């Protein structure tokens, strides 16, 4: 039985085996990828140059956009290449690297979403102390934790992936190197990898989601105590975008990673993965800009300045 180091490359089955759909999928996902890059990079630049977007909320949002760029760029280019290539392979090292960054960025993103929920709690429930409690130094410390923790946990998880053994089947039923389909084709080291994947995913999703839910329960209580209808409406509007992003991201990840890998779950997970690797990163800038008055005003000011310079 060859061990994992004897495997030099894997074959990625991809999104579809039907030749006539590959070109269509290539065009669709290329457009989605370009829109994702433009939207998220545009959001980062807008936040960095707009004086009215220098609050902690937008500081965290810029990091969410940065992680979304890395997240989709870790998967989409290889997916696009395989859609138009006859040899749909990925090297053993490339597979491990893709696994490492995928797991790391997932953990970074879920904890950034938790930090953003805590920030909304501080802004709405402790408005008088918000500026002092959420100083620049505090924000940098809060945003550093997801990065350090996410990349550290991912290193451990990837080492367990390295411990998988294969018996000749190197065909991954997915469009990127993901843990569930790798576990499905492995013939050794499966139980420890499967157990640790579910436990680590369960602990981290539960903990980060608990921070989000507790923050929003306290926010709802505080908002209901407000006497001003305008104040309640403003508070809920600032939280609506974040809740939408949280619901989409957590829902898809829980569907994929908190189940035992089976042929059916892997096939379903492949469709769900399209949503959180391509669609959600594209939608996040739209969600946070279309429902946000400050962002729309910042865009209008930049457009107005650009028109004045042309004039």
pLDDT single digits (tens) 88-135: 889 989 999 999 999 999 999 999 999 999 998 998 888 888 888 899
Please state, as a whole number, how many other Cβ atoms lie within 10 Å of the Cβ of residue 16.
14
pLDDT single digits (tens) 267-285: 677 778 888 888 889 988 8
Q: Which residue has the higher pLDDT, 4 or 89?
A: 89
What is residue 98's predicted lDDT score, i.e. its pLDDT?
94
Q: Stretch 242-264: mean pLDDT, rounded?
A: 73
Nearest to 112 by CA among 56, 61, 71: 61
Q: What is the dihedral of CA 248, 249, 251, 257, to 10 degrees?
A: 160
* Band of pLDDT at residue 53, cut at 50, 70 and 90: confident
**Side-by-side strand order, sheet with 89-91:** 89-91, 9-12, 171-172
pLDDT value at 263 more than 70: no
Residue 6 is given by DSSP the state G
The dihedral built from the CA positions of residue 184, 189, 194 and 200, taken in this order, carries a sign that is negative
What is residue 266's predicted lDDT score, i.e. its pLDDT?
62
The dihedral built from the CA positions of residue 253, 254, 256 and 257, taken in this order, carries a sign that is positive
pLDDT value at 258 more than 80: no
Residue 152 is given by DSSP the state H
Distance of alpha carbon 248 from alpha carbon 243, whole angstroms? 9
What is residue 1's predicted lDDT score, i.e. its pLDDT?
46
Measured between alpha carbons, how far is residue 18 from residues 115, 118, 120, 179, 213 in Å? Answer: 43, 46, 46, 25, 43
For residue 144 the two structure tokens come to 């550093």
What is residue 2's predicted lDDT score, i.e. its pLDDT?
45
- Read out DSSP for 197-260? HHHHHHHHHHHHHHHHHHHHHHHHHHHHT-S-HHHHHHHHHHHHHHHHHHHHHHHHHHHHHSS-
Residue 163 is given by DSSP the state T
* Band of pLDDT at residue 42, cut at 50, 70 and 90: very high
Q: Which residue has the higher pLDDT, 182 or 148?
A: 148
Q: What is the mean pLDDT of the chain?
A: 85
Contact predicate 183/197, CB 8 Å = yes
Q: 73-76 long-range contacts, Cβ below 8 Å, gap at least 24?
A: 73/37, 74/98, 74/101, 74/102, 74/105, 74/176, 75/102, 75/175, 75/176, 75/277, 75/278, 76/29, 76/32, 76/33, 76/36, 76/277, 76/278
Q: Where are the alpha helices (DSSP H) in 89-189?
A: 92-125, 130-133, 136-162, 179-185
Measured between alpha carbons, how far is residue 92 from residues 1, 183, 187 in Å? Answer: 17, 15, 17
């Amino acid at each position: 039985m060859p061990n994992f180091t004897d495997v030099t490359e894997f074959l990625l089955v991809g999104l579809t085996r039907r030749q006539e759909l590959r070109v269509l999928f290539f065009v669709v996902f290329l457009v989605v990828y370009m829109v994702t890059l433009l939207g998220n990079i545009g959001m980062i630049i807008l936040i960095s140059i707009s004086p009215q977007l220098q609050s902690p909320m937008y500081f965290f949002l810029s990091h969410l956009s940065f992680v979304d760029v890395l997240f989709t760029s870790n998967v989409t280019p290889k997916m696009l290449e395989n859609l138009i290539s006859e040899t749909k392979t990925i090297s053993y090292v490339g597979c491990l690297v893709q696994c490492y960054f995928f797991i790391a960025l997932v953990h970074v993103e879920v904890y950034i979403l938790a930090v953003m929920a805590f920030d909304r709690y501080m802004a709405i429930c402790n408005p008088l102390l918000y500026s002092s409690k959420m100083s620049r130094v505090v924000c940098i410390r809060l945003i550093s934790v997801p990065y350090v923790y996410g990349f550290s946990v991912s290193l451990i998880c990837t080492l367990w992936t390295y411990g998988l053994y294969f018996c000749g089947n190197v065909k991954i039923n997915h469009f990127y190197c993901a843990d569930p389909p790798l576990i499905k084709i492995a013939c050794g080291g499966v139980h420890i990898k499967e157990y640790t994947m579910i436990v680590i995913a369960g602990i981290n999703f539960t903990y980060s989601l608990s921070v989000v839910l507790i923050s929003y329960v306290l926010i709802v209580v505080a908002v209901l105590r407000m006497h001003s209808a305008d104040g309640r409406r403003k508070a809920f509007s600032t939280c609506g975008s974040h809740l939408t992003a949280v619901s989409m991201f957590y829902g898809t990840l829980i569907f994929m990673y908190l189940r035992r890998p089976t042929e059916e779950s892997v096939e379903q997970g492949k469709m769900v993965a399209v949503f959180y690797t391509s669609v959600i990163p594209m939608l996040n800038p739209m969600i946070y800009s279309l429902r946000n008055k400050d962002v729309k005003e910042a865009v209008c000011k930049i457009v107005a300045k650009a028109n004045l310079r042309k004039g």
